[in-house]
Amino acid sequence: MAQTSSLQINVYDGTRTLLSPSGDILFRVIDGNQQQVLAPMQASPSLLAKDLPFYGNWGDNYTVIVSAKHYQQAGFTPITLNPKRVASVDLMLIPKKPRFDFSGAKWPGIKGQLPFLANGVTAAVGRDRYQTLMTTKPKSLAALLNITTAMAQVHLPIGTPLDYIKQIKWDDSLAQDRFFAYCELTLLEQVKLAAAHGEFAQEMSPRFFHSGATASWKQTQFGEANLQLTFHERDQVTIDGTPCIGLEPDIDYYKDIGAHSLLEVVPNLITGGLSNPEAIYVLRWIAGRHAGVAEFQPPFTIRQTA
């Protein structure tokens, strides 16, 4: 008798809770041979797919794609199946017309988590410009919170990248896909040490993607939505007596540099667009769930536009 395998699929919404049954969800299950083996529709956000073909080769690297009315499609690959255990994948669907809910990102809490946001200015100025950012550039704020949450989850030999940021550059460079700041010079050495242990991969010719950059390293933990730390060593200042250099953190959609160039950078150059913080939110959350690490929980959620 041919062996089979099973796959548990769970669908969450932008609040990081199981999607409330409000309409049918289409679950597409595709094997490594690119053959669709299952495509049920159901209202429940959880599906246990049983008796899936097991091949004992690359055919067991499955893909799951889920979609529902009024939601953006999501998926994950590869999910390697094995007849000895039930594989699982958690996916997230966000509305086609999303809005950011920043109720968990109010200034009193954020200024304690991210003190560099108000470094160099009065408490009132720090609060006011943060509130203005939330109101006028919500995508930029979402990107800032995505990136800093990811930074707090990266463990260097000493601390996390977030611990080394001294002051943000609060200007037009604060965009929906990155921000610029000053970090302690020692962060550069910490990232090099982490790279020596395989935690980061160095990007060659960083100036091609990051104007004025002198060095850049990308996290290697996930298949998608890895943190990238780009350094501008010529941009030097001293803050509170500490030597600092320019830092440009961002999160790429794709791990592979070729995929990043062709699927992210080039389309953005053609359309004039930038990486979407909603997409980064979904990709990073899914990647973390699949890797079994601490959940990606930036202090905002994504809900349906009223």
Cα(279)–Cα(273) distance, integer angstroms = 13
Structure tokens belonging to residue 241: 């007596």
DSSP string across 82-120? BTTBEEEEEEE--BSSEEEE-TT--HHHHHHH-GGGGTT
CA distances from 107 to 104, 133, 151, 188, 299 (A): 9, 11, 19, 29, 11
Cα(281)–Cα(278) distance, integer angstroms = 5
For the chain, percent helix, then strand, then coil, each to nearest 5? 30, 35, 35
pLDDT value at position 267?
47
Render each residue's pLDDT in the chain as its tens digit; 306 residues.
579 999 999 999 999 999 988 789 999 999 999 999 999 999 999 999 999 999 999 999 999 999 999 999 999 999 999 999 999 999 999 999 999 999 999 999 999 999 999 999 999 999 999 999 999 999 999 999 999 999 999 999 999 999 999 999 998 889 999 999 999 999 999 999 999 999 999 988 887 778 889 999 999 999 889 999 999 999 999 999 999 999 999 998 866 555 444 444 444 444 556 789 999 999 999 999 999 999 999 999 999 987
* Contact (CB, 8 A) for 39 and 27: yes
pLDDT value at position 256?
58
HSE-up (13 A, CA, CB side) for residue 19: 32
Q: Which amino acid is at 226?
A: N
The domain ranges of the chain are: 4-92, 98-304
pLDDT value at position 63?
93
Instruction: Provide the 10 A C-beta neighbour count for residue 266.
Output: 11
145 burial (CB, 10 Å; 0-12 / 13-18 / 19+) is: buried
Closest CA to 210 of 184, 235, 243, 237: 235
pLDDT value at position 249?
97
Cα(187)–Cα(198) distance, integer angstroms = 17
Q: Which amino acid is at 291?
A: A
Cα(151)–Cα(137) distance, integer angstroms = 21
pLDDT value at position 272?
52
* Contact (CB, 8 A) for 173 and 235: no
Domain 4-92 indexed as CATH 2.70.70.10: no
